[in-house]
Amino acid sequence: MPTIYDVAREAGVSAATVSRVLNGARTVDPAMVARVLTAVRELGYRPNAVARNLRRSRTTLWAVIISDIGNPFFTATVRGIEDVAQQAGYSVVLCNSDEDPAKEETYVAAALSEQMAGVIIASSGSAKAAKSLLDSPIPVVAIDRQLPRGEVDTVVVDNEAGARTATRHLLDAGYRRIACVTGPEGVSTADLRLRGYTAALSEQQPPGEPLVARTDFREQGGYDAMAALLSSPERPDAVFVANNLMTVGALRCLADHEVRVPGEMGVVGFDEIPWADLVRPSLTTVAQPTYELGRMAARLLVDRIATPAGRPATVVLPAELRARQSSAR
């Protein structure tokens, strides 16, 4: 691979001049510019970003660490991030922690070692990863979930309000024994959505009794939790499921057990599913502004890189109920 010195020799100039040309300095003679560009083309020269990054002690790469690449919520969010990043001159590298704290720590370590310009993270709950990030000078934005003990810029949706709306919706439809399937304790989305659910129940006269199943945020977890609820002595007549993949699992479980939805079991899920309207019965969900969430996070990161000091912002975006068939009665 040719280096900048090969180009300099070929063009009969110094390496500094080549560097200036390539970095758009306008204090270079047009004739030199032409010679340099010709040499670059002839040699097929491509600047070594590693050397450049070392010298500049900064990069133009963002690490976006998400907790499940199979979850459409995250992939939609990434689209929003990418669009802003590209416009601001950054490239996005995506890291999939797969809800595994160990993997998350590996990716955080890589992002720090590689001197990435910034990190956007949907925490899988690793306190160690969070600490590494907070102890480092690297700008961080948390999305979807609060970073453990993290005083950082954050973009989330109003999980509690969304969950309360979803649960009220089931109550209004006439369901009386409403269960909740939520995610791991300590993951903010799991806890806040649960809180919204219990809040809605306690507003009733008489207050509804919570019936809660905790599992991971995966499809299989939703399946298993639903199966447990079905065979419980106080079998519910409706369920609020706190994320999209678990909702899919719950639906599959209900189909396998031939439980009619919404007749025998009303269902509302949190997070939109791309094909929620094609499923029969179509699925009532609490939709989040995923793309906008990504854009907002990226904007915060751009600002934070420009202004490392300053108080962290928390942006809360609204979530919105999309009533469809699965919650009708």
- Which pair of structure tokens corresponds to residue 163? 């969950």
Q: From the list a copy of itself, DNA, none, which binds 73 (C-beta under 5 to 8 Å, kind-based)? A: none
CB of 27 to DNA, least distance (A): 4
CB of 38 to DNA, least distance (A): 15
**Farthest-apart Cα atoms in the chain, separation:** 87
Closest CA to 111 of 140, 153, 85: 140
Q: Which stretch binds DNA (CB under 7 A): 1-9, 139-147, 199-207, 294-302?
A: 1-9
Tell me the CA distances in angstroms from 148 to 73, 113, 130, one per residue in order.
Answer: 21, 21, 6
Name the H helices within 153-243.
159-172, 188-202, 219-230
User: Given candidates 34, 51, 212, 316, which one binds DNA under the rule CB under 7 A?
Assistant: 51
- Which pair of structure tokens corresponds to residue 29? 């003679």
Closest CA to 156 of 284, 309, 269, 312: 312
Closest CA to 74 of 125, 161, 144: 144
Distance between CA atoms of residues 144 and 316, nearest Å = 10
- Which pair of structure tokens corresponds to residue 183? 């995610």
CB of 19 to DNA, least distance (A): 3
Q: Which stretch binds a copy of itself (CB under 8 A): 121-129, 194-202, 248-256, 295-303?
A: 248-256
Q: From the list a copy of itself, DNA, none, which binds 14 (C-beta under 5 to 8 Å, kind-based)? A: DNA
Which residues would be at the binding site for DNA (CB under 7 A)? Answer: 1, 3-5, 12-20, 22-23, 27-29, 31-32, 45, 47-48, 51-52, 54-57
Which residues would be at the binding site for a copy of itself (CB under 8 A)? Answer: 1, 44, 46-51, 53-54, 59, 61, 63, 69-70, 72, 75-76, 78-79, 82, 86, 91-96, 98, 103, 106-107, 109-110, 112-115, 135-137, 248, 251-252, 255, 273-275, 277-280
